[in-house]
Amino acid sequence: MTKIAHYINGEMVEPVSHRYLDNLDPATGEAYSLVPDGDERDVERAVEAAEKAFPAWSRTPAAQRSAVLLRIADLIEANLERLARAECVDTGKPLRLARSLDIPRAASNFRFFATAILHFHSESHATDHRAINYTLRRPRGIAGLISPWNLPLYLLTWKIAPALATGNTAVAKPSEITPMTAFLLSEICREASLPPGVLNIVHGQGANVGAAITRHPKIGTISFTGGTKTGAEIARSAAPLFKKVALELGGKNPNIIFADARLEEVLPTSLRSSFDNQGQICLSGSRIFVEESAYEGFVERFVSEASRLKVGDPLEPDTDQGALISRAQFDKVMQYISLAREEGGTIRCGGVPADAVSVGERCKGGFFVQPTVITDLKVESRVNREEIFGPVVTITPFKDEEEVVAYANGTDYGLAASLWTENLPRAHRLAERIASGTIWINCWMLRDLRVPFGGMKSSGVGREGGEEALRFFTEPKNVCIQFPPDAPKG
């Protein structure tokens, strides 16, 4: 059984405790590798290495940092098949998705920030004829990077790439449920000759390794993606130490469909926004709102297409939907489906685990749930307000713009919203009124790495992506130079 190792100071090392946790394949429910059950002693070693590496890395010319990160991007691409397979087995997601989304995006993350750093610039402010101010941006030191299990390599590299590009060193922690591609990335970093200590990857549980990172006094920057509850805990432990913190948390995103929308485009995209990655994407459009006149027709077609999605072995090429990440997530999703029944909802399709015949013998112990569509729930029901993070969507009719804006804003979350209409003025009006970090008009998950990405309300604070990330990982210092009094006045 593969034994995963920490990556500290350029070496693959065992946990100080010598303890390991089972790492399960969610499609079979069986352990297939061992992940270090790290603790604060491992974090301490990683911090020492990151501290030692910082002076040289932060002074390395941007072009050289860029070259190393580009080598990492190349190696991710060269190992695409191996990484995609590892991600598929570790998460239960279809191999097809890991190949087309997760791994290519991990390479793009490195390539994007490796080149962005070559163009990064800062401001100057001329103060009348008296002085000039310029903003000096310097790396902040050691960054703590904590990522979740739904898009493991994709989200971890989304943090590592900008942190390193800007000259910080880092202590990163992938989710203990999905450590495999981070482990493979360590090997890639060694092959790319990333200097020792610049990136350290410590494996283990959130309460041990994650908490040790967030409370460590030498880690002044924390970038976290994960659940809202964990985000609140991190905010609590980081606040008294005045750390710079970015939190990308959950979502309960509206997918709003007006009667004038082109159904041929709405349907396939809405199926993806509902069920891609088994609905375990913070951007999933889990609340569908349809204008009354189009409601019945939409429900009928959507349910019929959702029922045809193939739930099955993630390694099979024709599988649309794989396994949920864990037994705990499976139980959580099934509990929400029961709650939907109690709250008066009608289960139009799914609502049950996938049967053993459809998933096949190899996967009979896996955590599969059929794509589930629920109607007739009140907008204020718990199922319509709380993040489920599974293949479960609700559909609700709405009368007019006013009503759907209230519906869309009726949760504590505010991460992303999709809006389908051919009426451009209406699209602009709603984009302004919906409280959400991203508004997609006539699309979903159309990502440009330059745009600000993040949430409002309980979906988090701070923005990732492009300039926002380069600014987040640097400290702005204003330098004010007064002109000499005898300088000629222009």
Q: What is the set of active-site residues?
A: 248, 282
* Binds ligand TXE by CB under 6 A, chosen from 8, 257, 282, 311: 282
Q: Rounded to whole angstroms, how far apart are CA atoms 332 and 328?
A: 6
Q: Which residues contact 148 (CB under 8 A, 6 or more apart)?
A: 155, 175, 225, 226, 227
Find the part of the chain contacting ligand TXE (CB under 6 A) among 111-119, 225-233, 430-438, 446-454.
Answer: 225-233
DSSP 132-145: EEEEEEEE-SEEEE
Q: Rounded to whole angstroms, how far apart are CA atoms 139 and 146?
A: 19
* Binds ligand TXE by CB under 6 A, chosen from 211, 219, 363, 383: 211
By rule CB under 6 A, what count of residues binds ligand TXE?
A: 27
CB of residue 159 to ligand TXE, shortest distance in Å: 11
Find the part of the chain contacting ligand TXE (CB under 6 A) among 71-79, 209-217, 301-309, 464-472.
Answer: 209-217
* Binds ligand TXE by CB under 6 A, chosen from 28, 66, 91, 225: 225
Question: Scanning the structure block, which residue is given the tokens 């860029």?
Answer: 66
Find the part of the chain contacting ligand TXE (CB under 6 A) among 42-50, 203-211, 435-443, 482-490.
Answer: 203-211
Q: What is the DSSP letter of 60?
A: S
Site membership for ligand TXE, residue 142 (CB under 6 A): no
Site membership for ligand TXE, residue 374 (CB under 6 A): no
Q: Output the six-digit token pair for 472.
A: 């987040």
Find the part of the chain contacting ligand TXE (CB under 6 A) among 44-52, 146-154, 304-312, 423-431.
Answer: 146-154
Count of CB atoms within 10 A of residue 63's CB? 10
Strands, sheet with 169-173, edge to edge from the N-terminal-most edge strand: 11-13, 6-8, 199-201, 169-173, 142-146, 219-225, 244-248, 460-461
| 73 CA to centre of own chain | 19
Site membership for ligand TXE, residue 148 (CB under 6 A): yes
CB of residue 279 to ligand TXE, shortest distance in Å: 10
C-alpha distances (whole Å) from 261 to each of 67, 258, 272, 433, 474 are 46, 6, 17, 19, 43
Q: Rounded to whole angstroms, how far apart are CA atoms 462 and 437?
A: 10
On whether the CB atoms of residues 320 and 275 are closer than 8 A, the answer is: yes
* Binds ligand TXE by CB under 6 A, chosen from 206, 312, 350, 371: 206
Site membership for ligand TXE, residue 387 (CB under 6 A): yes
| 91 CA to centre of own chain | 14
Q: Cα 18–23–27 angle (5° rounding)? A: 170
Query: Residue 406 corresponds to which amino acid?
Result: A
Site membership for ligand TXE, residue 389 (CB under 6 A): yes
* Binds ligand TXE by CB under 6 A, chosen from 195, 196, 227, 353: 227
SS3 (DSSP) at 446: coil
Site membership for ligand TXE, residue 277 (CB under 6 A): no
Site membership for ligand TXE, residue 214 (CB under 6 A): yes
Site membership for ligand TXE, residue 287 (CB under 6 A): no
Q: Nearest 10 degrees: CA dihedral of 355, 359, 365, 368?
A: -70
* Binds ligand TXE by CB under 6 A, chosen from 83, 107, 145, 249: 249
- Beta strands (DSSP E) in 361-485 are 372-375, 392-398, 413-414, 416-420, 438-441, 456-457, 460-461, 474-482
CB of residue 89 to ligand TXE, shortest distance in Å: 18
Query: Residue 188 corresponds to which amino acid?
Result: I
Task: Identify residues 158-177 at the interface with ligand TXE (CB under 6 A).
Answer: 173, 175-176
Site string for ligand TXE, 297-336 (x = CB under 6 A): --------------------------------x--x----
Query: Residue 412 corresponds to which amino acid?
Result: D
CB of residue 78 to ligand TXE, shortest distance in Å: 27
CB of residue 414 to ligand TXE, shortest distance in Å: 13
CB of residue 174 to ligand TXE, shortest distance in Å: 6
Cβ proximity to ligand TXE, 174 vs 197, nearer residue: 174
Q: Output the six-digit token pair for 58.
A: 């932060």
CB of residue 278 to ligand TXE, shortest distance in Å: 12
* Binds ligand TXE by CB under 6 A, chosen from 26, 162, 167, 250: 250
CB of residue 156 to ligand TXE, shortest distance in Å: 9
Site membership for ligand TXE, residue 233 (CB under 6 A): yes
Site membership for ligand TXE, residue 437 (CB under 6 A): no
Q: Output the six-digit token pair for 311.
A: 């739930």
On whether the CB atoms of residues 278 and 93 are closer than 8 A, the answer is: yes
CB of residue 228 to ligand TXE, shortest distance in Å: 7
Residues that bind ligand TXE (CB under 6 A): 146-150, 173, 175-176, 205-207, 210-211, 214, 225-227, 230, 233-234, 249-250, 282, 329, 332, 387, 389
